[in-house]
Amino acid sequence: MTFVQVVDCRTRHFDKMNRLMDDWIALTEGKRTATHSVVGRDHSDSDHYIEIIEFPSFEKAMENSNLQETDRVFQEIVSLCEGLPSFTDLDVVRDEQLGKSTVRRFFEEVAVGGDLALVDDLFADGYRDHDIGRAEPIVGHEAMKRNVTDWRDAFDFRFDLHDELAEGDRVAVRWTWHGSHQGDFMGLQPTGQEVRMAGTTVFRLEDGRIAEGWWTYDLLGLLRQLGGVNLQRQVPAEG
């Protein structure tokens, strides 16, 4: 179970404290078990700071606390605070990356499920879609709906979503696509061929909606499976 520690303190010397945190990161390279740290300053009280530190588990948090480097740097940080910092230990019972949920709905309900009306809810006005298979971006809801329709007309397909990573306003997804060639695709008539390809998509979200997407996938491999590309090994003629 993911474990979070919340550290609450007051200080007028945050610049010095920040340098100590940088020192701790350098000193504990290859040793620390913390995976994520966020420091916030109280919007209405500039001397009030809260740090939120994430660990894979409570046990890993204790390993981190027992490091000599952690103890030494912590003592120096305490000397910069007004009184002792307070600690709150939390077992995480829900962790929902809302951007990931929005992206997952696109793959499952729009791309595979065919609910094109949902594009208007999930995508920002003026959405821009950068696709390795197109020279120019797709712009806007209606263009995105046509693009999804083109793929759905050409293939009966599904996505297997492997890795979904969120950071800031970006969500990255590594996926494998499986399809059955049922309609015209880039001039290739339907073959009934079962095909697959791997790819990665990075989405940028804005105000909770998908504002931009970058698609990278093995288009050449897909065309080769459909018989649209014939790569023959060139054997040099004997002299």
Let me know if residue 237 belongs to a domain.
no
Question: CA angle 182-223-198, nearest 5°?
Answer: 90
* DSSP class of 157: E
State the residue range of the domain holding 146. Answer: 98-225
Q: What is the pLDDT of residues 86-130, one digit of tens each?
A: 999 999 998 878 899 999 999 999 999 999 999 999 999 999 999
Amino acid identity for residue 12 in this structure: R
> Which domain CATH number covers 127?
3.10.450.50
pLDDT of 232 over the 60 cut: no
pLDDT of 235 over the 50 cut: no
Domain end point (choices 40, 57, 91):
91
Q: Which is nearest to 179 in space by CA: 163, 198, 165?
A: 198
User: What pTM was computed for the model?
Assistant: 0.78
The pLDDT assigned to 135 comes to 87
Q: What is the pLDDT of residues 38-51, one digit of tens each?
A: 999 999 999 999 99
* Residue whose pair of structure tokens reads 């919340």 in the numeric block: 6
Q: Which is nearest to 213 in space by CA: 153, 146, 155, 132?
A: 132
| Tally of domains in the chain | 2
Domain end point (choices 91, 110, 145):
91
Give the pairing type, strands 3-10 and 48-55: antiparallel
Let me know if residue 172 belongs to a domain.
yes
* Residue whose pair of structure tokens reads 């459909």 in the numeric block: 226
* Residue whose pair of structure tokens reads 């307070």 in the numeric block: 86
**Are residues 136 and 51 part of one domain?**
no
> Which domain CATH number covers 48?
3.30.70.100
Let me know if residue 235 belongs to a domain.
no
**Are residues 140 and 218 part of one domain?**
yes
What is the spatial distance between Cα 132 and Cα 176, in angstroms, rounded to a whole number?
A: 16
Domain end point (choices 76, 91, 106):
91
The pLDDT assigned to 229 comes to 66
pLDDT of 234 over the 50 cut: no
Q: Which is nearest to 197 in space by CA: 231, 227, 223?
A: 223
Q: What phi and psi values does residue 153 have, to the nearest 5 degrees?
A: -70, -30
Q: Which is nearest to 180 in space by CA: 198, 204, 155, 162?
A: 155
The pLDDT assigned to 238 comes to 54
**Are residues 216 and 165 part of one domain?**
yes
The helix-helix angle for 14-27 and 68-78 (nearest 10°) equals 180
Sorting pLDDT into bands at 50, 70 and 90, what band is 236? low
**Are residues 145 and 205 part of one domain?**
yes
Residues in the chain, total: 239
Q: What is the pLDDT of residues 171-213, one digit of tens each?
A: 999 999 999 999 999 889 999 999 999 999 999 999 999 999 9
Q: What is the pLDDT of residues 50-69, one digit of tens each?
A: 999 999 999 999 999 999 99
pLDDT of 36 over the 70 cut: yes
